[in-house]
Structure 1
């Protein structure tokens, strides 16, 4: 599986970089990541690709 490095924008992980699949296996290419700054205790922060290719924070989830 080919991976690409992306930079996260907004939310508690702003500026972090990580590798994500170049072609995700699902219709929803976003990713839920544990984050110390998440607004939900024990939750995860959801990042997904935006129209311009950046991976942007879309909110927090339990």
Structure 2
């Protein structure tokens, strides 16, 4: 059974937006299409920090995912 919840994103191009995430993976992260991404067509990657806030990690080109 998957565990899904809505989280608020902090930092990066999607700061303040909320998105649904699935929390089943021990190394949870989410990559989201973003107009503010440094790479056209790329994704902005967010992951939970030790306090549980979902913070911007980096922008990556689509082909690197």
TM range (shorter): 0.7 to 0.9
TM-score (norm 2): 0.83
What is the CA distance between 1:32 and its match in structure 2?
Answer: 0.7
User: Structure 1, residues 9-55: CA drift from partner, whole Å, max 9, x if none?
Assistant: 0000000001111x32x342111100000011111000000011000
Gaps of 5+ in 2: none
Q: CA RMSD in A?
A: 1.1
Could you say which residue in structure 2 is the equivalent of 1:9? 10
Runs of 4 or more off by more than 3 Å in structure 1? none
Gaps of 5+ in 1: none
Q: How many residues align?
A: 60
Q: Which has the higher helix share?
A: 2
TM-score (norm 1): 0.87
